[in-house]
Each structure stands twice: as C-alpha cells, then as structure tokens.
Amino acid sequence: MAIIYHPEYATHIQFRHHPESPERLEYILKKIATLKLSQEIIKPEPATEDDLLTVHTEKYVDFIKNFGTGYLDGDTYIREGTYEIALLAAGGAMRGVQESFLRNEPVFSIVRPPGHHAGPKHGGGFCYFNNAAVAAKNALKRSERVAIVDIDAHHGNGTQEIFYDSRDVLYVSLHEWGIFPGTGNYTEVGRGKGEGYNVNIPLPPHSGDSTYEEAFDAIVMPVLSQFMPNIVLVSIGVDAHYKDVMTRLELSSKGYMSIAKKLLDFSEEYCHGRLVYVLEGGYNGLALSEVTGGIIAMFEGRKIDIQYDNVKDKNLRGKEYIDKSKNELFKYWKL
Ligand SMILES: [Zn+2]
C-alpha cells in the first residue's frame, strides 16, 4: 500500500516547543521502519492555488500568502515558508485521494501542518489550509459522494463550515465537547440542501473505547451505509488517546484499531476499498506512532503488538450524549 509523505514536512516549525512539531512525523516514520511496513512512500506535489480556491476564498489565500511573520491566532504562527509547506500538506491529502482511486485500496497521507480547523475565510488551531477538504473537492471531480469521518479529538470546525450547505460531502465528527474550537454541537446538522449531511457526535470528557464503539455502531456506520459514498476520507487525530494530554478523551490504541477496522470493512464493501487517512492532530509521539503504525499494518493484513491497550471506558460513559445526537439525526437517517 502507498503512504504519502514529503521530507519537507519536517521543515515546518512554528516555534520551539510547539506541540505540532516535526518530531510527530519522525515517530511515525520510525515506527513504519521498525515494523517494516509499507516501503512505498510517495512524495506529493504541492496543491495549486486553484486547488485551495475550491474551499477557501481568494482573499484568505492571499492573506496567508502575504502574511509575513507573526501569529495567526494564539496557537498558530506563520513564518517564511509556511505558505509553501501548507500547500504541500494539501497536495499530500489530494495525492492520497488520487492514489486510492487508482488502486482501489487504502492510502495514508502522513502530512503536516494539519488542516481541519481551517475554514473558507480563516485558519487557526495549528491549521492554515484545509487538507482533507481540498482532497474531498478533488475527489468530487471523479465521484458524486464523498464522506469525511473526523476522529480528531477536536471538532473540525473548518471542514464543517466548508461543506455545511453541501449534500455531496457528508461530514461526520466525533470530538470532546466543551474544548477548542467550541463548535460541533449535535444540533449543527447542515443547512439548505446540506441539512442532515453534517453529523456531530460531541462526547463528554473520559469517553473512550466503549463509547466510540457504540457511537460508530449506532450512528456513524448506519449513516455511512445510507449515504453510500464513493470514497471515505478519515481526518485522523490521535489526540483522543488516553496518552495524549491535549484532551480528556480516553481512547486506547485498541479502540483506534477497532474504529479503523470498521472503516476498512466499510470501504471494501461499499466503495471499492477507497479509503484515505489524512493526518490531523496527535501530540504524544508514542501513541501517535502506535496507532498510525497499527492502522497501516492492518491495511497490509498484518497485526502489530499493541502496548497502550488499557480500556478505560468500559461502561459507555458518553451514552447520554450519543442518544442526544441520535435523537437529532433520526429526522434524516434510519438509526
Ligand atoms: Zn485535535
């Protein structure tokens, strides 16, 4: 299977000790090498400005391009080269889509900077351009329906905004409720012809394996199978892991594998194996590399030894929240 990665991703440093650091990808690459996983690493081309304009306004693209140096928001710094590296990250997600269509198999785009907080007219939260959204728009050139499943611990407010009026792109997000960026309530279901095609499952702190299992079985998988996408994109963040201190969600590596298996089986049954993982967050190198390595191994039909398998949520801690989402979504989907 193919991995999309560019060595230049390592040159993106916002400032010293920023959690979204080059070491994140070093951990992943080391894991891939240790486990002797995919040797097929494809270097992507940068996205073009036209590609960005499919999801961002011209004003915003020019704003980033000519920004100079300084803070975009409190957590997101821009310096010389940031624009170019952000284009390369969007290009990496796009290449993932292209390869997955070509091969009818899963592809993992290991990119940074991440993208899911970038909306049509804004960036922030470590993001400049929305990689997954640019890739989804690219996928629409050769398909009718694209699903984005966002399992980063934070809500992908940018992706939601971009596709809020659209029924061609289904956006599904599971995230911790009450943290950055503050959006992603279950009542945010889309607008106009996009109504019902935006699915939020906000979860309380300490939700973990059993809650995610139930959310996938009760909502995510039924919605996906009714939507019938031609390709599934996964905005993967490993910051919902219990080892990651950025949020209070408590998924184990085992929980991540279980989600990955459901999405893999779905893609094989419903969309010719087309499945593209696009990396978003995840700030604990050990958890990040174990989960990404485990998923890539799964794509190759292999199983790795899991170290972080402590199941902390065995009793559906987020059940009440899942039910709220379900009640809202009943209007649009058979659940
Ligand atoms: Zn995140």
Q: Look up the CATH number of the domain holding residue 90.
A: 3.40.800.20
CA of 242 from ligand 1 middle (Å) equals 13
Q: How far away, in angstroms, is 255 Cα from ligand 1 center?
A: 17
Rounded (5°) CA angle 297-31-255: 55
pLDDT tens string 269-327:
999 999 999 999 999 999 999 999 999 999 999 989 999 999 999 999 999 999 999 99
Assess if residue 253 is contained within a domain.
Answer: yes
Q: How far apart are CA 267 and CA 298, in angstroms?
A: 14
Residues 195 and 187 sit within 8 Å (Cβ to Cβ): no
- Cα 143 to middle of ligand 1, angstroms: 28
User: Residues with catalytic annotation?
Assistant: 117
Residue with tokens 């960026």: 181
| Residue 29 domain flag | yes
Terminal-to-terminal C-alpha distance of the chain: 34
Q: What is the whole-number distance in angstroms between the Cα of residue 288 and the centre of ligand 1?
A: 12
What's the burial of 161, exposed, middle or buried (CB within 10 Å: 0-12/13-18/19+)? buried
Residue 54 alpha carbon to ligand 1 centre in Å: 24
Confidence band for 205, pLDDT divided at 50, 70 and 90: very high
Question: 152, 237 in Cβ contact below 8 A?
Answer: yes
Q: Is 335 part of any domain? A: no
Please tell me the distance from the alpha carbon of residue 316 to that of residue 260, in angstroms, as a whole number.
Answer: 19
Distance 44 CA to ligand 1 centre (A): 24
Confidence of residue 15 (pLDDT cuts 50, 70, 90): confident
Q: Which two tokens stand for residue 323?
A: 């039910």
* Band (39; pLDDT cuts 50, 70, 90): confident
- Note the pLDDT tens digit of each residue in 224-235: 999 999 999 999
Distance 154 CA to ligand 1 centre (A): 4
Q: Report if residue 273 sits inside a domain.
A: yes
The strand ranges marked E within the chain are: 2-4, 40-42, 70-73, 76-78, 106-109, 146-150, 169-176, 198-203, 231-236, 275-279
- Dist CA 263 CA 286 (whole Å): 23
C-alpha 45 to ligand 1 mean position (Å): 25
The answer to the question of residue 334 being in a domain is: no
Q: Look at residue 319 in the predicted model and tell me its pLDDT.
A: 98
Does residue 265 fall inside a structural domain?
Answer: yes
CA distance 133 to 146: 10
CA 274 to each of CA 104, 163, 246, 263: distance values in angstroms, whole numbers, following the listed order: 5, 20, 31, 10
Residue range of the domain that includes 47: 2-329
Whole-number Å distance, alpha carbon 280 to ligand 1 midpoint, is 7
Does residue 190 lie in a domain region? yes
Beta carbons within 8 Å of 20's beta carbon, 6+ residues apart = 14, 112, 113, 114, 126, 281, 283
> How far is Cα 299 from Cα 32, in angstroms, rounded to an integer?
13
% of the chain exceeding 70 in pLDDT = 100
- In the chain, how many domains are there? 1
Rg from Cα positions in the chain:
18
Confirm whether 223 is domain-assigned. yes
